[in-house]
Each structure stands twice: as C-alpha cells, then as structure tokens.
Amino acid sequence: MADDDRRDERRPDPDALLALAEKDRRGKLTVFLGAAPGVGKTYAMLSRARRLKADGIDVVIGLVETHGRSETASLLDGLEILPRRRAAHRGRMLEEFDLDAALARRPRMIIVDELAHSNPEDSRHPKRYQDIEELIAAGIDVWTALNIQHLESLADLVAQITGVTVRERVPDVVLKRADDVLLVDLAPSELIERLKEGKVYLPESANRAVDRFFRLGNLTALRELALRRTADRVDDQMVDYLRQNAIDGPWATGERLLVCVGSDALSEKVVRVASRLASGLNAPWLVVSIERADREVETPERLQRIEALFRLAEQLGAETRRIIGNDFVEEILKLARREHATQIVIGTRKRKPWAKFLTRSLPDALAVRASGVGIHIVTPDATPTEARRMAFAMPKAETLRQSALSALGIVALTALIGKGIDLFVDLPNISLLFLLAVLGASVTGGYVAAFLAAALSALAYNFFFIDPIHTFTIAAPHEVFALVIFLVVAVIAGGFASRIREQAEVARIRATALQSLYDFSRKLASTAKGDDAIWLAVSQLQASLKRKVVLLVPLKGDLGVAAAWPPDTELDVTDMTAARWSHDKREPAGHGTGTLPNSRFEFRPLLGPHGIVGVCGIEQTAERLDQNAERSLSAILDQTAIALDRARLADETVEQAARLEGERYREALLSSISHDLRTPLATITGAVTGLRELGERMTPENRDDLLQSIEEESGRMSRFVANLLDMTRIEAGTLKPKRDWVDVADVVQSAVERTRKHAPGRIIEPGIAADLPLIRGDSVLLGQVLFNLLDNAVKYGGDEPINVYARRDGKDVLVSVTDLGKGIPPEDLDRIFEKFYRRGKPDGRAPGTGLGLSIARGFIEAMGGRIHAESPAVKKRGTRIVLRFPESNEARGKAQ
C-alpha cells in the first residue's frame, strides 16, 4: 500500500503535461541571447542554419541584418532568402520582413533576426515578436536574436547602467515562452576590441559607441544580466522536466508576489522592480489596483495610466486584477490570503515629518497588520516635490469657477436672509444660517464649493453680525473663538455633506448602469432568435457607449457584418482584416491593440460556452472608454455571446430533432416496405411458380385459388403504393383537392360497397340522414378516406358489425365510422393520425403501413374539414372516427 502511495505521489504534473502537449502543436522558438550587439548572435544562427541545410532540413532566411559584416554576409550563400516587403515610413522606403510570404512558403524552419524590431505603421503587427508569434502558431519553427537590454523588465535598470534609454522592448513573457534560449557570450574586452576594429559598427559609429555604450563597466553589467537571465531560463526548463516526468528534485520554493499599483508615476517602477523580483524568485505575481467603493476618484487620464500599467504588467508575465473597497489595507491582506501571496510589493513617497503624526502611510499600515507576509517597499527616483505634484492634481478652471459662483451666491443669499431676520429679532446664534449655507454649497458644488462657502461665511458673519459691524475686526475675544469653532465645524460638515453627495452620485451612476444591464438581460432572455439578439446588442452598445458599433458573425465560411449601428457604418479592408484576426485568434485586435492598430475599430471576440460566436467592433476616438463603460461593454458582450450560443444550440437542436424524426420515419418506412411488399411479392411469386411447374396437373379449383391470391396480393400492393404516393403529395404540399359539389350519401354508399368486396364476410351497416346537404370538396379523396377508415375498422374491429353514419350537426355535416373492437387508449387518440403509427399485432406484426389515418387527416384538412377519434365508442369499447365538414353558404341557399 505504501508503494502505491509513493507511485501516486510521483505522477506527472497534469498542468505540465498540458503545457507540453500545447507546445507540440505549435512551432518552436529558439532565441539567441546576447549581452550587447557584436557578440556573434547572427553569426551563430547562420552557422547552425547551414549545418541544418546540409542535413536536408528546409531552412529559409526570412530576414537577417548583417550590418555590413562581410563574414556574416558570406554565411548567407546557399540559403534560400525570402524577398523583403517594401514599406513607406516617414518619406523613406524601407525593406521589411514579409510575414504573408513566410506563411505562404511555410518552411520547416525560418530565421527572423532582430526580435525587438518595430514594424512600420502599415504592418499587421506593431512589433516583430508578434510576427514571430503568428509564425509559431502556424507550426513553423523560428530562430531569432535578442540583446538583453531590450527586455521590458530591464529597461529602467539598463538606463541606469548605461545612461541610454532603450526604446525598442520585448515583453519578458516572449523569452519565457521560448523553447530554447542559447547564450552567445563574448568577453567585454574582446567585444570592445572588435568594435575598434570595425567588426561591429562602421568606424564613425564605433567611436561614438565606445564613448557612450560600449564601456567596460556597462558591458560587464549587461553580461551579468544576460548570464542571470539565461540561468533562470535553464532553471525553468529543469523544473518543467521534473514535473513532466514526476522526478523528485529541487522544486521551486512556491513564492507568490502581490504587487499594488495606482495611477501615480511611481507605479511603473514598482511593476518593473516586481518583475525582476519575480524572475529572481521564479515566482508568479499578481498586479492589483484598488478602487474606492464610495466615490469615483479616478479621472480618465488616471484610468488610462492604470490601463497602461496593466498592459505593461501582462507583457512582463503578470496577472492583473481590479478590486473595489474602502479599507485598502484590509482588501490587500484579504487578497493576499486568498491568493496565497508570500510577498507584497508596494511603492511609497517620502513624507514630511509632521505628516507621520497625522496619518499612517499604506506601507506602514500593511507592515503593522500583516503577519507571515513580506513587505517590499519601492521608493521613487523623483524628488518629493515632483512626487507631490504628480499625486495631487488641481481641479479644472471650469470646476473652480462654478464652485466659486455657487458658494458666493449661496453665502450672499444667506447674509441677506440673516440681515432681514436681524432687523426684527436679535438672535445670538444666527451663525447657524451660515452653517446651513456651507452644507448647501457642499451638496450643490462638492468639496471646493464647501471650503469656499466656509471661508466666505466666516467673512460675511464677521462683517455683518460681529461688533464692530461692517469691519473685519473683532472686539470681543470670545467672538474670535466662536468664529474659529464655526469655521472648523463648517469645513467638517461641508466635507461630510460633499462626500455624501459624491456617494449618492456614484450610486446613481452605478444604479443606472445596473438597471440598463438588467433591462438588456431581460430583453435578451426573451429573445429566441440570434438575429434579434444581435440587433438588441448593437443598439444597446451604441446607446451606452455613444460610438459606432458593428457585430460580425461567421457567414458561409467567412466573417460578415450581421448588424451595425448606425446602419450606414462601413468597414474598410484594414477593419475587416482586424475582425478576421480577432475571430481566428480569439483575442482583441484593431485600434489600441498589438494587431493592426491603424484600424478605426477595436474588435473583441464573443466567446460563448461552446466556442466563438462572433466579433464585436467598437469605434475608438481620442477619448478612451471610462471604467464604467468598460464594465458595461464587457457585461453586454458576455451576455450577447451566451445568447448567440443559446440561439445556435436551439437551431442545432431543431435540426437534430428534424433529423431524428426523419430517421424514425425512414426506419418505419423501410420496415413497412420490407413487410408489406415482401409478403404479397412472396405470395405472388409462389402462386406463379406453382402454376408454371404443375401446369395441367393442377385441378381447376387449385388454379382458381392461386389466381385469386395473385389478384388479392396485387391489389394489396397497389393500395400500398397508392398510399405512399398520396403521403408524398401531402408532405410536398402538391395536393390540390377539387372544389366540386359532393353528395355525401353517394360517396358513403360507394365506399361501403367497395369495402364489402374487399371483405365479403364483414357486416357493414350504413345510416344516412334524408336531409343531408351537399358539401364543397373532392369526391375521390373523400371516398379514399372512407375506404381507409372502413379498412382499419375491418382490421381492428373484430367480428362485430361496422356502422357508418352521415348526418347534420347544426351547420356542419358529420360522417362517422364506428367499430366494436378493443378501442384505443386515451393517450394514443392523437397519435393514431401520425405517419407509420400502428397498433395491434395479430400475426406477430402490425397490419398495414400505418399511413391510412395520416393520409385521411391530410385529405380531410385539405378539403377544409376536421377529423378526430373517440374511444370507447359504445358500452366502454370500440372506436369511432368522426369527419366534420362545414356546410357551404351556397348549399344552404339551394336548400332554401
């Protein structure tokens, strides 16, 4: 038992196996990593490529930058080179990597140099690493080169080391997902010597590089970064191998980082420091932003900065999340406990000494209340003055003007009212009027209006009501104290009133958004068709976002516009390409993304529970969507995706039910044909064989019996084929009954005589009323119906007589056929009119094809009548089939 437990503990990690299986379906990425330009990355790539080419591997050069190095350019001889794409950029023609040509060529392996390169504006992707990701997704192996200073998480550190800000950067996640990272190393002294010899840059560029970037200290530090990052990558590969093969080994320590950011400038440094810390600890990390629940404090500019921070964090390999709460410390610690975070990374500014006695900073509060969690504090590079200027933004001039006018007007009105009261009544506490003015200003104008109203109220109260009047001096000392207390109370009360106003406004905005989403959900829930859901979603999005919205769904193998609002919204070639990309890759594309950012629209996939159902495009303007709009957009898209998926499943269910019904009918038809054709054919074949073989030796009586059998079975086959043809006419809708005058009595009598010939031993008793009027219909179809009903009565009615009645019932004409058989169960009274439904098995099988009553219903309804079954009919047994025809007005006129 212990051995079994040990074997269970050694099972491979399922997540590691799934990651391995996912890699097998994609191409492989190999990155040649170097500390600086000139260490030989491109030379190493081409040397290995030539060896693979010699071994018969399909190797293609997508793009290689030789920078004028002759020994590197010589390695291109004998290798297939794809033509470059010409692109215009700032008045110049550039030769760029042709992604579409590479996808069309589809080699086994392709070399695409300069991983951190930025593409021209008309390219599908802004960055070359995104081109490479598309090649890998297509199953093509890619080799590329990268210098360590281009990693996103090291950008600020490289700037500190070298004094050069690197503009072209690659997210760390690209290097982390690479299948192989090969370090191309060269000693800094040798690299400087190569630079001086002109083997890295041209001589004039080499001199500037030695003076600025290629210093011994800089190269040594960059070399250390490259070695460390390569070692981290090797450690990741080792851990993956141990997990995939269930080998006991040096597992990771299980650290997890929680990174707190805001909209200030320090947060970008916090993210980069946390990225390096997570890389060093080989730990996952989560970046979180906290929003206040009681009021909206984030401006659109700050929201854009937080969005940019989240995109940066995701590029560096982090998860991102937003939470809402008022107690920031409690929310952070609650999230840390829920996510099992072992380290919290947070930034802090330098504070004035006196500020420490008033409030405790967020990092200090975390340090006091946290237990078992490490706190990493990141300090800014900027001076305290700059940090404060970044943290506090002045209100807009228009807001200040409106607040000042509001405060001035309310205080002036209050002073006027107070003066009027003072003329008639001498009140010692008239200052309470000005407290009311402060509260009113705070409710109408917010914090700024409240503070201005408090100051103006203090001045007005002093000028108009404190001796000496009409001066700003105060004679009595106690009046000074009372004025100060009044001012403090006014500011506090105004602040609270203003906060309540903001909370009410936030609650109103969120309630409006919630009500709008509720109304949309209710309308969507009552929508069964996909087209209705699409138009409902488009109109709701346009009303909520005040922007052009278009929704595309798959149509005949391509993506087509299903709805747009306004209806005249059109998509150009770039827009459609971005929409197709979003649908195929199931990720956002278009404006503001990494794919075709020149598009006017941002396209987001609609992902339902059972796959992608469409793509939604939202026109983007200079003003980005605020936080509430983003929430509404996400909620509407999610609900629309579910509704479209539900509509698609409903359509598939109807189609499946139709297919199953068709299969059931087909099986019943084949079963009926196999029985009802095989039996008469076998009888006819046997009779013909007997007549042919016996010939004159057969007695006349036996010959007559065989001939009668042939005649009866031929008639049976004829009726069977006729039933099938009649049913086909009914199903196809080609049945066109005549509208002649029909004498029901004659039709009934003819059907009875025909049945007596078919079943000579059965008793059929007709009963026809004398005053029976004519009806409009088809006498042939009616006769066929009555014969089918009588034939069923013969089969199922036993040996008792069969009754046929025709009479008037008010303004209708009724014809009924009644037998005294076992009857029909109540649950089968409606089913007997379905195709291929048969009851009873007197010979081990049900007699007939099960089409007679179904054909009868089709014929009767085609003539404007109705048919139904009643059972029991007489004395708790038997079955009665009733036909009802309306008496025509013309027949009524003739009778009169």
pLDDT of residue 31: 92
Mean pLDDT to the nearest integer, 689-705: 76
Length of the chain: 896
- Top pLDDT among 665 and 319 is at 319
Highest mean pLDDT among 83-97, 422-436, 470-484: 83-97
Tokens linked to 598 = 């020149």
- Top pLDDT among 784 and 746 is at 746
Do 851 and 727 contact (CB within 8 A), yes or no?
A: yes
- Top pLDDT among 542 and 393 is at 542
Burial class (CB in 10 A: 0-12, 13-18, 19+), 411: buried
- Top pLDDT among 648 and 136 is at 136
Tokens linked to 597 = 């950012």
Highest mean pLDDT among 428-437, 535-544, 721-730, 762-771: 762-771
pLDDT of residue 452: 78
Neighbours of 83 (CB within 10 A): 8
Which CATH number fits the domain 14-245, given the four candidates 3.40.50.300, 3.30.2290.10, 1.10.150.450, 3.30.70.370? Answer: 3.40.50.300
What's the rounded Cα separation, in Å, for the pair 256 and 278?
A: 8
Render pLDDT for 753-765 as a digit per residue (tens, 0 to 9): 888 887 887 888 8
- Top pLDDT among 112 and 15 is at 112
Is 60 exceeded by the pLDDT of residue 175?
yes
SS3 label, residue 373: coil
SS3 label, residue 646: helix
Is 60 exceeded by the pLDDT of residue 592?
yes
Three-class DSSP labels, 512-567:
HHHHHHHHHHHHHHCCCCHHHHHHHHHHHHHHHHCCCEEEEEEECCEEEEEEEECC
Would you place residue 622 in the very low, low, confident or very high pLDDT band (cuts 50, 70, 90)? confident
Mean pLDDT to the nearest integer, 603-632: 79
Is 60 exceeded by the pLDDT of residue 846?
no
pLDDT of residue 728: 64
Is 80 exceeded by the pLDDT of residue 319?
yes
Q: Do 527-646 and 735-895 show the same overall fold?
A: no
The CATH fold assigned to 527-646 is Beta-Lactamase (3.30.450)
What's the rounded Cα separation, in Å, for the pair 305 and 709?
A: 95
Tokens linked to 389 = 């200027």
Residues in Cβ contact with 708 at an 8 Å cutoff, skipping those fewer than 6 apart: none
Is 60 exceeded by the pLDDT of residue 463?
yes
CA 732 to chain centre: 41
Do 169 and 151 contact (CB within 8 A), yes or no?
A: yes
Of the candidate ranges 64-78, 283-297, 502-516, the one whose mean pLDDT is the lowest: 502-516
What's the rounded Cα separation, in Å, for the pair 699 and 688?
A: 15
Secondary structure tally for the chain: helices H, strands E: 30, 25
SS3 label, residue 28: coil
Mean pLDDT to the nearest integer, 720-749: 72
Is 50 exceeded by the pLDDT of residue 251?
no
pLDDT of residue 32: 93
- Top pLDDT among 517 and 335 is at 335
What's the rounded Cα separation, in Å, for the pair 210 and 34?
A: 18
Render pLDDT for 378-390 as a digit per residue (tens, 0 to 9): 888 754 444 444 4
pLDDT of residue 277: 87
SS3 label, residue 65: coil
Q: What is the DSSP letter of 380?
A: -
Is 60 exceeded by the pLDDT of residue 250?
no
- Top pLDDT among 829 and 354 is at 829
What's the rounded Cα separation, in Å, for the pair 121 and 135?
A: 20
pLDDT of residue 126: 85
Percent of the chain with pLDDT over 70: 76
Do 606 and 640 contact (CB within 8 A), yes or no?
A: yes
Strands 764-768 and 802-809: parallel
- Top pLDDT among 309 and 501 is at 309
Cis, bond preceding 107 (omega within 30 deg of 0): no
CA 604 to chain centre: 8
What's the rounded Cα separation, in Å, for the pair 878 and 620?
A: 75
Architecture of the domain defined by 735-895: 2-Layer Sandwich (3.30)
What's the number of CA atoms in the CB half-sphere (13 Å) around residue 882?
14
pLDDT of residue 564: 86
Of the candidate ranges 235-239, 413-417, 518-522, the one whose mean pLDDT is the lowest: 235-239
pLDDT of residue 446: 67
Is 90 exceeded by the pLDDT of residue 608?
no
What's the rounded Cα separation, in Å, for the pair 723 and 851?
A: 7
Percent of the chain with pLDDT over 90: 4
* Dihedral angle sign, alpha carbons of residues 246, 248, 250, 255: positive
CA 436 to chain centre: 52
Architecture of the domain defined by 257-391: 3-Layer(aba) Sandwich (3.40)
Would you place residue 478 in the very low, low, confident or very high pLDDT band (cuts 50, 70, 90)? low
Is 60 exceeded by the pLDDT of residue 10?
no
pLDDT of residue 482: 64
Where along the chain do its domains lie? 14-245, 257-391, 411-504, 527-646, 735-895
What's the rounded Cα separation, in Å, for the pair 11 and 94?
A: 54
Render pLDDT for 189-203 as a digit per residue (tens, 0 to 9): 888 887 777 666 655
Do 346 and 378 contact (CB within 8 A), yes or no?
A: yes
Q: Comparing C-alpha atoms, which of 356, 359, 319 is closest to residue 335?
A: 319
pTM of structure: 0.54
pLDDT of residue 732: 59
Mean pLDDT to the nearest integer, 259-278: 87
Q: Which amino acid is at 398?
A: E
Average pLDDT, the chain: 77
